[in-house]
């Protein structure tokens, strides 16, 4: 079976690389070895290395498992939480009801 990696635009790729770097820094601040985090997350050491490099081919579930090991799984919940653009678009398409007729 051929594995396909997601094709990302340069700006998007940089964001994913930054996330990987932040995960690595969080691991190092906790003084946890890569081997220990990989074992606790149920992944291989090479997968953890790919996560820390921000590779798009790694399952989002693996990213989440690593965040859980680091105690950062709640940070995952803040993704797209405040969707201001989406709310503005939704509000722009709201149909206002006409006023009720006077008696």
Could you tell me the residue ranges of all domains in the chain?
Answer: 10-92
Confidence of residue 1 (pLDDT cuts 50, 70, 90): low
Query: What are the tens digits of pLDDT across the range 62-100?
Result: 999 999 999 999 888 888 777 788 888 887 776 666 676
Confidence of residue 43 (pLDDT cuts 50, 70, 90): very high
What's the pTM value of the predicted model, to 2 decimals?
Answer: 0.77
d(CA 46, CA 48): 5
d(CA 35, CA 44): 8
- b/e for 62-84, b at 16 or more Cβ within 10 A? bbebbbebbeeeeeeeeeeeeee
Q: Give me 59's structure tokens.
A: 């399952």
Residue 13 confidence (pLDDT) above 80: yes
Average pLDDT score, the chain = 88
- CATH number for the region 10-92 comes to 1.10.260.40
């Amino acid at each position: 079976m051929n594995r396909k990696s997601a094709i990302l635009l340069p700006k998007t790729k940089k964001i994913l690389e930054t996330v990987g770097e932040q995960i690595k820094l969080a691991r190092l601040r906790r003084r946890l070895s890569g081997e220990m985090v990989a074992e606790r997350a149920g992944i291989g050491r090479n997968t953890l290395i790919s996560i820390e490099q921000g590779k798009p081919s790694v399952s989002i579930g693996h990213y989440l498992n690593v965040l859980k090991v680091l105690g950062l799984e709640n940070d995952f919940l803040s993704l797209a939480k405040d969707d201001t653009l989406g709310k503005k678009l939704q509000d722009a398409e709201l149909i206002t009801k006409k006023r009720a007729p006077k008696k």
